Structure 1
Amino acid sequence: MTTRDRLLACFVAVLWGVNFLAIHTSLEHWPPLLLAAVRFLVIAVPAVLLVPRPAVPLRWLLAYGAGFGTLQFLFLYIAMRVGMPTGLASLVLQASAPFTVLLGAVLLRERLAPRQAVGIGLAVLGLGAIAVARAQTAALLPVVLTLLGALGWAIGNLANRLALRDARGPVNPMHLVLWMSVVPPLPMLAASWFVEGPAAWATAFAAAVTPAGVPGLLGLAYTVLLGTLVGSGIWTVLMRRHPAGVVAPYSLLVPVVGMATAAVALGERPSAVELVSAAVIVGGVLLGTPRARPARPGPAEAVAVVAARP
């Protein structure tokens, strides 16, 4: 990678790390399910109107949206609403990487290299340590919910891969990300209507247009514009230019930024166990990341899994 591309990869990691702080701010003003629905709705409407639908099988597009969009953010937003620390959420969500490798091995019969198996084992060990530590303080539920969100992300990753594999011709990965956003709004709105209720909608939208609601809108705007569109757009370009194994490790900077910004802005102080576990998890994910392979010429260069972050 050139120095410019390395800086771009670091910039995306910063955008995605700060995004957890933006989500935290939004959740102080919006019900979690409604917030997730609105987040994707404001992307879905212009996507349907302005972006051509990618030529991928509908089943994989729906599965991508259901996993990455619906399940991931349903569990993540609820977890953060019920007490998952912002910085820790940015770390635990990294479990999507070993989950993706495991699901690929089980469902797609992809070969699991010994190096990847060791990396997954380390990541699971670190996550287990955090779960045990949290269980001592009766705060295990938010960790479990965040892990379920990571599993949803992993399911979305596999669907993304299958969509690109079975595509009818070249596919712009960014178009696939945008059209994935069409899937979550309806189930999220339905869940919000029945769980949070129409009164919560009225309260949230009424408060959003008041001065007190500005931070919530700014957090939502950051998530949509910078976290999703700008971050994913740059990441897609990098994934097209370089092998996935070269670009993907830069995503390990996301929890570093997420935990640092949460410490500065929110005063979060992870325990010693959580800090050691964080190092083990990051090391395990890095070890489990496939080694870079030379890019093959031709249309295959455009086939890359877009690792869009929350």
Structure 2
Amino acid sequence: MPDSRRFPLLLAGAFFALYLIWGSTYLAIRIGVESWPPLMMAGVRFLIAGSLMYGFLRWRGVPAPTWAEWKAAFVIGFLLLACGNGGVTLAEHAGVASGVAALAIATMPLFTLLFGLFWGNRTTHLEWAGIVLGLIGIGLLNLGSNLQASPYGAAMVIFAAAAWAFGSVLSKHLPLPAGPMASGAEMITAGVTLLIGSLLSGERLQHMPTAAGWGALMYLVVFGSIVAFSAYMYLLKNVRPAAATSYAYVNPAVAVLLGVMFAGETIGTEECLAMVVIISAVVLIGLPQWRKPPEHGAATARAN
């Protein structure tokens, strides 16, 4: 009896974590890059989070990844976290509003479908309609003053969405570690890669990060990387994949609202229209997934 009562509460808590926590990470990144060099912050975040997750899993008796699994984790970690999350961090450091970055990343399912074609995945008419509508949304997003003011940031955030999508598709064809150990290994390898990139690019701490900068980093480590990902893994086991990945059309609205309320960001008419179009496109893409039972599981989580 207690288990049956706790189950809905766990589901509700897991959805809350995905919708609110992952939606808020864009604002946390925006706050963090005001104190931290972008690649350094992302590298420290994932190295700490991955090490904590790896250590906990090993303590629980989970086998260490094999050499082949470490190599696969490096490839996927590089695409999803180093390029995906690193791209978002660089874009926000370049001045892209956190809400606009979230909107651009919401196009990730479009790229996932397109990359899936290379592996022979079939695409329904609804999914093609979603792809076309999503591309229109990307065009509208780039017409807004936010991305026009930072072409570099615009390129980085679209590149981040594409890299995350390609890594998600490729992950199904590589020998990754089982369960959460895959995420731990991916975060460790991506963290090291990002820190090497930070060193080679000449990033330096000009001064000690502020309290807000440290707080943003810790929030991203504990809540953005560990708590929310654990909630995502729980949902993948207990709900349909389309429900577990529904954060894709909730996070942008959360990120825009938090950015306006707490960071003084402004969203223009073009960005508002783009949000409606992009979220509609993601819903169209998700409809076929709601209609059919899961076949091979859902894609890996997202880039923030």
TM category, shorter: 0.7 to 0.9
Residue ranges of structure 2 left out of the alignment (5+ in a row): 1-6, 58-62
Q: Between Structure 1 and Structure 2, how many residues are aligned?
A: 290
Provide the C-alpha distance between the structure 2 equivalents of 1:252 and 1:83, rounded to a whole number of angstroms: 23
Q: Would you say 1:43 and 2:49 are equivalent positions?
A: yes
Identify the residue that residue 222 of structure 1 maps to in structure 2.
219
Do the aligned partners of residues 136 and 12 (structure 1) sit closer, same or farther apart at CA in structure 2, a change above 3 Å counting?
closer
What is the TM-score when the length of structure 1 is the normalising length?
0.85
In the TM superposition, what is the alpha-carbon distance from 1:34 to its structure 2 partner?
Answer: 0.8
Do the aligned partners of residues 104 and 137 (structure 1) sit closer, same or farther apart at CA in structure 2, a change above 3 Å counting?
closer
Provide the C-alpha distance between the structure 2 equivalents of 1:241 and 1:38, rounded to a whole number of angstroms: 32
Superposed, which structure 2 residues align to 1:169-188 within 5 Å? 171-172=178-179, 174-188=180-194
Q: Would you say 1:108 and 2:119 are equivalent positions?
A: yes
Identify the residue that residue 157 of structure 1 maps to in structure 2.
168
Could you tell me which amino acid in structure 2 is paired with residue 276 of structure 1?
L
Could you tell me which amino acid in structure 1 is paired with residue 185 of structure 2?
W
Q: Would you say 1:260 and 2:257 are equivalent positions?
A: yes
Provide the C-alpha distance between the structure 1 equivalents of 2:157 and 2:136, rounded to a whole number of angstroms: 16
CA contact (8 A) 2:84 2:160 kept: yes
Deviations 1:13-62 (A, max 9, x none): 10011111111111010001111111111123334444343577444322
Pick from 117, 139, 159 the counterpart of residue 128 of structure 1.
139
Could you tell me which amino acid in structure 1 is paired with residue 251 of structure 2?
V
Do the aligned partners of residues 123 and 294 (structure 1) sit closer, same or farther apart at CA in structure 2, a change above 3 Å counting?
same
Provide the C-alpha distance between the structure 2 equivalents of 1:195 and 1:309, rounded to a whole number of angstroms: 22
CA contact (8 A) 1:235 1:308 kept: no
Could you tell me which amino acid in structure 2 is paired with residue 291 of structure 1?
Q
Deviations 1:50-85 (A, max 9, x none): 434357744432221110111112221111111101
Deviations 1:195-224 (A, max 9, x none): 134xx14x35xx14xxxx211110001111
RMSD: 2.4
In the TM superposition, what is the alpha-carbon distance from 1:131 to its structure 2 partner?
Answer: 1.1
Deviations 1:249-287 (A, max 9, x none): 243110110000001001222111110111000000111
Provide the C-alpha distance between the structure 2 equivalents of 1:60 and 1:102, rounded to a whole number of angstroms: 22
Indicate the larger mover: 139-148 or 55-64.
Answer: 55-64
In the TM superposition, what is the alpha-carbon distance from 1:140 to its structure 2 partner?
Answer: 2.8
Identify the residue that residue 62 of structure 1 maps to in structure 2.
74
What is the TM-score when the length of structure 2 is the normalising length?
0.87
Pick from 198, 201, 210 the counterpart of residue 195 of structure 1.
201
Could you tell me which amino acid in structure 2 is paired with residue 306 of structure 1?
T
Provide the C-alpha distance between the structure 1 equivalents of 2:147 and 2:17, rounded to a whole number of angstroms: 36
CA contact (8 A) 2:141 2:270 kept: yes
Pick from 84, 91, 114 the counterpart of residue 72 of structure 1.
84
Provide the C-alpha distance between the structure 2 equivalents of 1:191 and 1:215, rounded to a whole number of angstroms: 24
In the TM superposition, what is the alpha-carbon distance from 1:136 to its structure 2 partner?
Answer: 8.8
Could you tell me which amino acid in structure 2 is paired with residue 16 of structure 1?
W
Superposed, which structure 2 residues align to 1:279-294 within 5 Å? 279-289=276-286, 290-292=288-290, 293-294=292-293
In the TM superposition, what is the alpha-carbon distance from 1:137 to its structure 2 partner?
Answer: 4.5
Provide the C-alpha distance between the structure 1 equivalents of 2:186 and 2:148, rounded to a whole number of angstroms: 37
Could you tell me which amino acid in structure 2 is paired with residue 44 of structure 1?
G
In the TM superposition, what is the alpha-carbon distance from 1:3 to its structure 2 partner?
Answer: 7.3
CA contact (8 A) 2:145 2:268 kept: no
Q: Would you say 1:31 and 2:43 are equivalent positions?
A: no
CA contact (8 A) 1:79 1:146 kept: yes
CA contact (8 A) 1:228 1:308 kept: no
CA contact (8 A) 1:60 1:159 kept: no
In the TM superposition, what is the alpha-carbon distance from 1:12 to its structure 2 partner?
Answer: 1.8
Could you tell me which amino acid in structure 2 is paired with residue 307 of structure 1?
A
In the TM superposition, what is the alpha-carbon distance from 1:6 to its structure 2 partner?
Answer: 4.6
Identify the residue that residue 21 of structure 1 maps to in structure 2.
27
